[in-house]
Amino acid sequence: MGGADPKLAEPAGMPATAAEVLLAWGELRLRDLPWRAVRDRWQILVAEVMLQQTQVARVVDRWTRFLDRFPDPTSCAAAPIGAVVAEWSGLGYNRRAVYLHRTATAIVERHEGVVPGRLHDLLELPGIGPYTARAVLVFADGADVGIVDTNVARVLARWSGRRLRANEVQAMADASVPLGSGWTWNQTLLDLGAVVCRARNPACTDCPIREGCSWRGRGEDPAGGSAGVTGRQARFEGSDRQGRGRLVATLAEGPVDVDRLPLVMGWSDDPGRAHRVAAALVADGLAVTDGRYWLLP
C-alpha cells in the first residue's frame, strides 16, 4: 500500500551540489572544438549530423570544409544531392548527407531558409530526431533542456545505478540542467562521458562526481542495455558499409562503368554482392545508374 514503487518512478536529476562540481570541472576541461565557438543554428545542425556515429577528430576539418561550400541551408538545398554526398564522402553513413540535403530543402520551403528555433518545427524536418533538435536549441540558443546521446545516457545510467527507460533518461537529463546553464551543462556532460565515463575502461577515479555515483565501477554496468546507450558497432572491415563507402568515394570522382563495379567495391570475386549493395545505394538516394554507368544523383 502507499506510494508508487520507487523502482518505477522517474529518476530525479542530479542534485545541485553535484551539478556545481561538474560545471566547475567542465570550465577547466571542456574540449576546444570549433563548433563550440559558434551559435549559428545551421552550423550547429551540420556539426551534430556529422558527429552521429563519426569520431570527433574526423569531423573537425570536414565540418569547416563543408560549411565553406554550403554556408547556409539555401546553398545546400540549391546544390544537387550528388554534390552534397561528394562533399560528405569519407565521413561514413552517407545517407546522412541525403537527409541533410532534404532538411536544407525543407528549411528553405517552410522557413524561408532559416533554421527554426522551436522544438516542434525542428522535429518535423526530415531526418532530425530528438537529440539533434535539442542540440540545436541548446548549443545555438542556450536552451535549458537536456540532450541525450550515448555518452550522456551512459553517465546517467551509471549515476542512477540501474538501466533506464527512454522516457526516464530524457526526464533525468532535463531535470539535471541548472537554470541558465544549458549550453555549459550539456557540453560538460558530453565531455564527461567521452573522456572519463567511457564505455570501456572508465576512469572512475578521475570523475568529479564519483562520490554520488551509484555504480563507480562496481558490479554489473547498468549502462549495458540502458536506453540511449549504443552497443559496439559491427565490424567494418569486409562489411557492406565498407563497400558502400568505397563506391561513393569513387563516384565523387566520376562515373563508374558497370563492369568495374565489383572491383571498385572490393569484391571482384563476388559481383552479385557488389550489385546488390549498389542497388541499396540507389534505394537510399545515394547513387543512380543508367544500366551502363553508376553515378552520384
Q: What residues are annotated to the active site?
A: 48
Query: What secondary structure does DSSP assign to 82-141, as a single string?
Result: HHHHHHHTTSS-THHHHHHHHHHHHHHHHHTT----SHHHHHTSTT--HHHHHHHHHHHH
What is the torsional sign of CA 33, 168, 137, 47? positive
Count of alpha carbons within 13 angstroms of residue 204, beta-carbon side: 14
What is d(CA 94, CA 96) in angstroms, rounded to the nearest whole number? 5
Residues 202 and 171: beta-carbon distance below 8 Å: no
CA distances from 222 to 91, 150, 155, 236 (A): 31, 13, 10, 27
Radius of gyration in angstroms for the set of CA atoms belonging to the chain, rounded to a whole number:
21
Q: What is the DSSP letter of 232?
A: P
The DSSP bridge pattern shows strands 256-257 and 288-289 to be unpaired
Q: Which one, of 110, 129, 109, 141, lies nearest residue 42 by Cα?
A: 141
What is d(CA 114, CA 23) in angstroms, rounded to the nearest whole number? 32
What is d(CA 271, CA 168) in angstroms, rounded to the nearest whole number? 47
| Edge-to-edge strand ranges of the sheet holding 256-257 | 256-257, 293-295, 288-289
